Amino acid sequence: MKLKLLAATLVLASGALFAQTIEVTGAWVRTTVKGQQATGAFMNITAREAVRLVGVSSPVAGVVEVHEMKMEGDVMKMRAVPSLDLPAGQTVQLKPGGYHVMMMDLKQALPKGSMVPLTLVFKDAKGTESKLELKLPVSVVAPGSMPGMAHGMTNHSAHDVVAPQGEPKQ
């Protein structure tokens, strides 16, 4: 029994150590209005050693996926990606119009100024998983960006194409 407890502690400790090699900056979640079923979370992730982002979860959303947005002909489309490569030392941007964390089946409205817990799950080259617990501020636009940047919202409404319960039309 005592041995088991020790093992658990070690796993926790190594997880924390691993998490320190991944830096997340500028993270935020787009605010929602009542009845809105989906929104996006955005951030910059820099991993010191190459890892993959293999999962995301949040207590406020039933389904959380990593999405990619791409132009296909004239149409902006998005799809879920099973994992996102984070090359060593390179900052990968999750931003409106590009990769983003899609939070669907929202269980509550996300008012501006509130905080949303988000758990990122990473896998390293050896297949070892680690988790990073974050608290993201809810905002209308990226914190620090100019008000004019809110036009990114227009692109994001392309969610309606594949997610009928997505964001309401603007």
Q: Per residue in 127-155, is it b (16+ CB within 10 Å) or e — as a string?
A: eeebebebebebbebbeebeeeeeebbee
Q: Give which of 157, 152, 156 is closest to 169, Cα–Cα.
A: 157
Alpha helix segments (H runs only) across 44-112: none
Comparison of 61 and 78: residue with beta carbon closer to Cu ion? 78
For position 27 contacting Cu ion by CB under 5 A, the verdict is: no
For position 45 contacting Cu ion by CB under 5 A, the verdict is: no
Nearest approach, Cβ of 10 to Cu ion (angstroms)?
A: 37
Number of Cβ within a 10 Å radius of residue 31? 18
Identify residue 5 by its one-letter amino acid code: L
Q: For residue 117, give Cα distances in angstroms to 14, 23, 110, 113, 133.
A: 22, 16, 11, 13, 7
Q: Select the span of 61-69, 110-118, 129-137, 145-153 touching Cu ion (CB under 5 A).
A: 61-69
For position 30 contacting Cu ion by CB under 5 A, the verdict is: no
Q: Select the span of 45-53, 102-110, 117-125, 133-141 touching Cu ion (CB under 5 A).
A: 102-110
For position 29 contacting Cu ion by CB under 5 A, the verdict is: no
Q: Select the span of 41-49, 53-61, 67-75, 116-124 touching Cu ion (CB under 5 A).
A: 67-75
For position 66 contacting Cu ion by CB under 5 A, the verdict is: no
Nearest approach, Cβ of 166 to Cu ion (angstroms)?
A: 8
| List of residues contacting Cu ion (CB under 5 A) | 67, 78, 102
